[in-house]
Structure 1
């Protein structure tokens, strides 16, 4: 375990040899708390999640931004974990209010303008995230067309289009949750690529991996690093 941790630290700091200064911009504390909130909710660690929710509010996340992370996670972890997360957050907010802390609620999502059908809108969002055209459904999306419809109309049109969080912030949350869970490596690989398409750098992704290592476990961090290296190799 200790050896893996040292390897991650060495890789993170050795990046200075082959990345320019812009590529080495770190994730900020607010983004780091998106990582730990999404990851701990994904694995159902409610005790640690409570601490991370408090830390998120203390580091500049608004109440509505944290709600948005927890709601989005239902698409990746299921309603039970999302509802548990939201219940935990509701208790945190109430405790802080009772203690005289008035956290910033933050903006609501802008009204949705239905100028095109949701499938087309979701397809457009997915094309922006993957940086490639969405052709006719194939693979499992062709085998079960309804999942293709749900993904585009609900996940990418209904959820990703809500402007409380940016696409980059949503990818930070998604990558963190998928990296914390086991058995979803193909989805993690896809979202690591999407994260880079939204502006996340190699350096920042390795910082996220380091946070996952300390917050969730070194095994998940090692898997995340292996998959990221595949993504980086494929993009050369």
Structure 2
């Protein structure tokens, strides 16, 4: 066991663990460590860019070791500042950064320890695309005082994180990238060599988290939503439950995740979606997220057809009505109406996800089930709502480890020829 792990293990024993108690706040805080999140850090908000949460962990006056868990939303960081007595930071969740004045920024992952000497000007915070938590321990507390300085402006922050923010850098070692992504998603450690089939897990993890995750410009939240809807379509509840937790860890809100699964219903059928909801609701319950979630419905019985048409017609025209007009018994008109009312009226009008995201996820689900004729029309719809061919390509590559090369390559050919 290395020094980092020893420090975290001792800290857990001394302090204990807690559950996130920020679920009732407007911002859903994902569980990225076993330490409590505490309350929104309003007392120090003037010294932070973005939102943070503070959970004091020690209270003993005899010990006099002030220690707190600080949680940052993606992109949040504190101002330049210094401590007359110095400070220790221990990263416990997500991905963050630490920078001293005049030096390059340091990327922080769970287990990393930062020793900050007295009076050294510095800042720390979350990566642009990840929540981040660290333990903050005040050194020499009898005389230690903070000196708050100017904000870390957007240009400074962008410069600090630019070398490691992009997952497309082909020069980054895929093993290190695999470990970083896996820890950010699941909070554990990749490539451990454990289990009954360590060779298979080694190949799988390097391929998915070390290579697929850096291909294309999708952010990590979108990648996890794509993975979740793919697993829902494939009816893989154990893996879906795990990736539901990973999605929350990347900043996907419970509403967004639920809407992504709801969106699958007209495509894969309601029974499969109910199974998928069982998996993600299990994760929500474990995280202390109160069910049912807030309603997102925006239509009524009277206007669901009208509002569905308002979305469907600009994207797809009346092609489906034409396709179904010769169905025996004249029932094609009923099917066309059902499609408009249910897929577009009941689901596409819901709040929680925008149309651009819904169309991208729909394209991925159609890819998973091999619905080639529908892929053609939904490809054009995606282009209309602003999803480029490059975005669609990256999305299909994200599906590739789950559906296999043949199915993915077939759809990549469709995108290429469009």
| 1:94 correspondence with 2:285 | yes
Counterpart Cα distance in 1 of 2:239 and 2:287? 17
Please name the residue that 2:235 is paired with: 44
Query: Could you tell me how far 1:120 is from its partner in structure 2?
Result: 3.0
Tell me the matched-pair count: 203
Normalised TM-score (structure 2): 0.44
Query: Could you tell me how far 1:141 is from its partner in structure 2?
Result: 4.8
Please name the residue that 1:30 is paired with: 221
Measured at CA, do residues 51 and 136 of structure 1 come closer, stay the same or move farther in structure 2, by a change above 3 Å? Answer: closer
Q: Is the 8 A contact 1:35 1:176 kept in 2?
A: yes
Normalised TM-score (structure 1): 0.76
Measured at CA, do residues 208 and 141 of structure 1 come closer, stay the same or move farther in structure 2, by a change above 3 Å? Answer: farther
Identify the match of residue 304 of structure 2 among 118, 128, 133: 118
For the aligned residues, what is the CA RMSD?
2.7
Q: Is the 8 A contact 2:266 2:342 kept in 1?
A: no
Query: Could you tell me how far 1:187 is from its partner in structure 2?
Result: 0.9
Counterpart Cα distance in 2 of 1:42 and 1:205? 18
Which of these two proteins has the greater Rg computed from alpha carbons? 2
Mean Cα displacement is larger for which, 26-35 or 74-83?
Answer: 26-35
Query: Could you tell me how far 1:140 is from its partner in structure 2?
Result: 2.1
Please name the residue that 1:19 is paired with: none
Please name the residue that 1:137 is paired with: 321
Higher RCO (CA 8 Å, separation ≥ 6 residues):
1
Please name the residue that 1:57 is paired with: 248
Q: Deviations over 1:40-61 (max 9, x none)?
A: 1101122221222111111111
Measured at CA, do residues 135 and 54 of structure 1 come closer, stay the same or move farther in structure 2, by a change above 3 Å? Answer: closer
Counterpart Cα distance in 1 of 2:400 and 2:227? 10
Query: Could you tell me how far 1:196 is from its partner in structure 2?
Result: 1.3
Query: Could you tell me how far 1:142 is from its partner in structure 2?
Result: 4.7
Counterpart Cα distance in 1 of 2:352 and 2:404? 29
Identify the match of residue 381 of structure 2 among 194, 199, 210: 194
Please name the residue that 1:224 is paired with: 411
Query: Could you tell me how far 1:81 is from its partner in structure 2?
Result: 1.0
Please give the secondary structure, in 1, of the residue aligned with 2:351.
coil
Q: Deviations over 1:149-203 (max 9, x none)?
A: 1011121112101121101111121111111113x11112211211111111111
| 1:165 correspondence with 2:356 | no
Counterpart Cα distance in 1 of 2:247 and 2:413? 28
| 1:214 correspondence with 2:401 | yes
Counterpart Cα distance in 2 of 1:136 and 1:54? 37
Query: Could you tell me how far 1:134 is from its partner in structure 2?
Result: 3.2
| 1:155 correspondence with 2:346 | no
Runs of at least 5 residues in structure 1 that lack an aligned partner in the other structure:
14-23, 232-236
Q: Is the 8 A contact 1:141 1:147 kept in 2?
A: no
Q: Which runs of 4+ in 1 moved over 3 A?
A: 105-108, 110-114, 133-136
Q: Deviations over 1:181-230 (max 9, x none)?
A: 13x11112211211111111111111111111123321221121122123
Is the helix fraction higher in 1 or 2?
1
Query: Could you tell me how far 1:121 is from its partner in structure 2?
Result: 2.5
Please give the secondary structure, in 2, of the residue aligned with 1:27.
coil
Q: Is the 8 A contact 1:34 1:56 kept in 2?
A: yes
Q: Is the 8 A contact 2:297 2:349 kept in 1?
A: no
Counterpart Cα distance in 2 of 1:106 and 1:79? 19
Runs of at least 5 residues in structure 2 that lack an aligned partner in the other structure:
1-206
Counterpart Cα distance in 1 of 2:257 and 2:320? 35
Measured at CA, do residues 77 and 110 of structure 1 come closer, stay the same or move farther in structure 2, by a change above 3 Å? Answer: closer
Please name the residue that 1:70 is paired with: 261
